[in-house]
Amino acid sequence: MKAARPFDLAGKRAVLATMHGKEEVIGPVLEAGLGLSIEVPRPFDTDRFGTFSREVERKGSQLDAARAKLAAGLEASPEASVGIASEGSFGPHPNIPLLAVGKEIVVLHDLDTKLEIVGCHIDLSPNYDHMVVEDIPSALSFAKRVGFPAQGVVVIGIAGGVPIPSRYLTKRIDNEEHLVDSVGEALKACGAAHLETDMRAHRNPTRMLSIKRAAEDLLNRYRRRCPACSRPGLAVGRRVFGLPCAWCGEPTLALKAEIETCAGCGLSLEHPAPSSTAEPGECPQCNP
């Protein structure tokens, strides 16, 4: 019989910490790719780790929140030896004005080997939008633009121009009649209403696709094994810039090499850029 390789996950029982249907996209990818048997704890509350609608603030980083969910999932399912959780983050693009960006991560942790793999997907066109309205027609126009009712919409009260969930909050809006009633209640209470796309996975089809891609990235990272110790997850840990200019030979902003590192044994592998020189257009000296 062929001996199993170290860190193999086939046949292991895994728990996916979610309450928003993420098993629909994560489960098939990791069950087929890793041989896991994935379950979801019922009931399970992930809102305690933070909500997009602001009533519960997320503590720590995106990765911190995913790890906290994962740990809680393992606690809720003591028979599982593998924990899985995901977390999303959305906001304005740091470098491109008026462009939103979303980042999804899916984290896997194996209790037996302490292996952690993090898959990631960056979405430059998430369905992430908001609008302050003072009447029902404006609210209906926003809802139509974002794809309601397939895409969920959240209605939040306002105080001082800032969305304040304690003033008013409705998330479970499934039809136009309910949306009109909710906006009307917020307008009566606050004079204006903050509408935004519901970023919970089960109410945001675009986000659900991004979560699937993050799970696929996790699978691809798992398959990248260290040639020295066979640990999965060999990944680019550092990028070196400064490829010399083809004209003057001075360092440019172009990528010179990528450094892959192993979290287990510390092996470092350098992968030089395909070209040994950069185009003059990338050189601060030749193209100031």
Given a cut of 80, whether residue 2 has pLDDT beyond it is no
Residue 116 and residue 109 in contact, taking contact as beta carbons nearer than 8 Å: yes
Residue 248 and residue 283 in contact, taking contact as beta carbons nearer than 8 Å: yes
- Domain 130-197 fold: Dna Ligase; domain 1 (3.30.1490)
Given a cut of 50, whether residue 282 has pLDDT beyond it is yes
Task: From the options 3.40.50.620, 3.10.350.10, 3.50.50.60, 3.90.950.10, give the CATH code of 13-126+201-223.
Answer: 3.90.950.10
Whole-number Å distance between alpha carbons of 105 and 123:
11
pLDDT number for residue 98? 80
Residue 223 and residue 233 in contact, taking contact as beta carbons nearer than 8 Å: no
pLDDT tens profile 122-156: 999 999 999 999 999 999 999 999 999 999 999 99
Q: State the pTM of this model.
A: 0.90
Given a cut of 70, whether residue 1 has pLDDT beyond it is no
Query: How large a percentage of the chain has pLDDT more than 70?
Result: 98
Q: What angle do CA 84, 90, 94 make, to 5 degrees?
A: 125
- The domain ranges of the chain are 13-126+201-223, 130-197, 235-282
Q: Do domains 13-126+201-223 and 130-197 have the same CATH topology?
A: no
